[in-house]
Structures are given as structure tokens and as C-alpha cells.
Amino acid sequence: MIIIMNSQATKADIEAIESRLADFGFKTHPIYGETKTVIGAVGDKRRLSMNQLLMMKGVENIVPIMKPYKLAGRELQKTQSVITVGNTEIGGNKLTVIAGPCAIESNEQFTEIAKRVKASGATILRGGAYKPRSSPYSFAGLEEEGLKIMRSAGDEVGLPICTEVLDTREVDMVASYADMLQIGARNMQNFKLLREVGKHKKPILLKRGLSSTIEEWLMAAEYIMSEGNENVILCERGIRTFEPSTRNTFDISAIPVTKELSHLPIIADPSHAAGIAKYVGSIAKGAVAAGADGVMIEVHNCPEKAMSDGEQSLTPDMFDELIREMKPIADAVGRVL
């Protein structure tokens, strides 16, 4: 970073800044001009408060040279990350397809859907055992019993499983069943939860918050990675805007922008973006064309009777048709489906 001193800054002010930076392990190089002095500083900004530095005598401005998300960004890692989840990979040449119902309702329901999505080409099985619902009266999931059902079905069909964790107290238990842990949109800035899943080595699917910027999203990934878990997959699921025609507004531009800023894989979730089943396919195909590393699709064998988000769920037949329609698009952008 570069610290710009104001024209009234004295030599003592400059030396105080250098001393402060040295305390945090920075190497400094002052450049004296006719009216102002700038100090070049190289070190780890995560240990330093920019606001406190700005409050020091003689400081006019601070210009960062690197992005604040060092582990998630491309400045230190240029190559695309490929993350292993069970028997598959995310971020490589093959397009990842994550599919399953919003909520696990019974062993029969979930196993039937698992078999159908596997036959259509899904590579990871999803389902909700713990459901964060807007209403306290809505179905909130089968909890650990749901995890047992999901693990059994995943093993039966040969697919790794992904499910959401809501509470720091449940991370160990959920991780004992799941191959990938999901952090939902509402928890994207639950920093204690991010740190807790960061202590595990299980891959983390990190959904973008309801009204979060891309930088805030990448900083949430940084929280996880700073604890030692670099197996983070980003998930664009739509953001809240003024437009009521869909549940959320799918930010398709976030895919190429995030690809430029970060080496982490990115998955698109058109189901939560649209909130309406008939729009899911178009958004999914657009995401693949934009460069997404995969899609997450909600599938239910009887959406009209679903206990959660039936209106945005595809039937198994609709899902099968969508996979067929995505194949030529995947081919066109050099992905295998």
C-alpha cells in the first residue's frame, strides 16, 4: 500500500508512521517530494487497521495496492482452483451439476429423487436437513435424521452429498455426514460460523448474501480460508432488488466479474434466483454460457406437494430435459457435461 502524507507532515510524523508499520512487520520506503511525501509499505494488511493509520498525524490518504481478499483473489494465485468433492471435482473441465430437493422429507422421497437426478447426469446430491425459513411455522427440516437419509441415498447412488449447516454447534455433526457443507445466503456474514467451517477440511459451498457486494462475498470466503480451509466454492443465487417478478435478481455479470477477481470455482443457483420453475432453465443455460463452473438445481418428484420451495422445483423429467439442453451450450464454452 501507499501512505500519502499531507503537505504539513513533519519528519517526525513520517518516522512515526514508519515505526507503526514496522511494529506490524511492514517494510517501508519513503519517497520525498517537493510538497508531499509518500511511503511505500509492503506487508500483510490483515494485521493492521487502516482506520487507525488514517487517524495518525500527517496522514492524508492510504491507497491499497492489493485487494483485501488475498487468499481468495487472483493476485497471489493466478491458476484456477479445482476442488475435490467426494468422487468428483468442481472447477475443472467438467461442468458440475448439483441437484436434489430443497428439503429432505422422507427416505422414500429423497432416495427416489437421488436415483432420478443421478440417471440424468447430476454429479453431486443436494438436500436440506436444516432449513432456515422466513416463517417460524414453516417446515424446518428433519435435522440429523435427514442427514442419515441423505448419506444413505448418496452412498446408494454413488454421489457425494451437500447440505447446509446453520449453527457453529452443529458443524462437526453435519461434517460427519456431508461431503460438502453449504453456507446459506442468510449466513454469508455469520463470521463465527465461517471461522468454524474454516477449521474443517470439507469443501464449503458459500452462497452470496441477499444484498452483498462481490467484495463482501469474497471477504466471507477469506474468513473461511484464513482458518486453513482453502476448499471454497462460491455460489451466485441472486440478489435482492426492487424487481418483484422473480424471487431474486440473478446477477449473471457476477460470474465473469468474480472469475476475473478470484481463482475459486463459482456455481450458479437459478432455482433460488428465479423462485419460479419455468424460469430456472433459461437462467441455468445463461449461467453456463457466462462461464459458471456448474449449476445447482432444485428437483422434486411432486413439487405441488413439496414441504419447501415447491414452486421453484423442477420435476425429474424437467430436470432431465434441462440437462440435455445445457449440453450444446457446455460444448460451446469448452465444458464437458
Do the beta carbons of residue 91 and residue 80 sit within 8 Å?
yes
With a CB cutoff of 8 Å and minimum separation 6, the contacts of 274 are 238, 246, 247, 248, 250, 280, 283, 312
Q: Please name the residue that has the C-alpha cell 453435519.
A: 174
Give me the chain's average pLDDT, please. 93
Structural domain includes residue 69:
no
CATH number at residue 6: 3.30.70.1140
Is the pLDDT assigned to residue 137 strictly greater than 80?
no
What's the first-to-final CA gap in the chain, in angstroms? 43
pLDDT tier for residue 145 given thresholds of 50, 70 and 90: very high
User: What are 247-294's pLDDT values in tens digits?
Assistant: 999 999 999 999 999 999 999 999 999 999 999 999 999 999 999 999
Q: Are residues 230 and 270 in the same domain?
A: yes
Q: Are residues 48 and 135 in the same domain?
A: no
Q: Which domain holds residue 152?
A: 83-332
User: What are 205-228's pLDDT values in tens digits?
Assistant: 999 999 999 999 999 999 999 999
Q: Are residues 31 and 102 in the same domain?
A: no
Q: How far apart are CA 219 and CA 264, in angstroms?
A: 12
Q: Are residues 268 and 308 in the same domain?
A: yes
Q: Are residues 13 and 150 in the same domain?
A: no
Q: Are residues 31 and 88 in the same domain?
A: no
268 CB-side CA count, 13 A:
29
The stretch 5-27 carries a mean pLDDT of 91
With a CB cutoff of 8 Å and minimum separation 6, the contacts of 79 are 263
The number of domains in the chain is 2
User: What are 30-85's pLDDT values in tens digits?
Assistant: 888 888 899 988 777 767 788 888 999 999 998 877 787 888 999 878 899 999 99
CATH number at residue 267: 3.20.20.70
Q: Are residues 9 and 157 in the same domain?
A: no
Structural domain includes residue 170:
yes
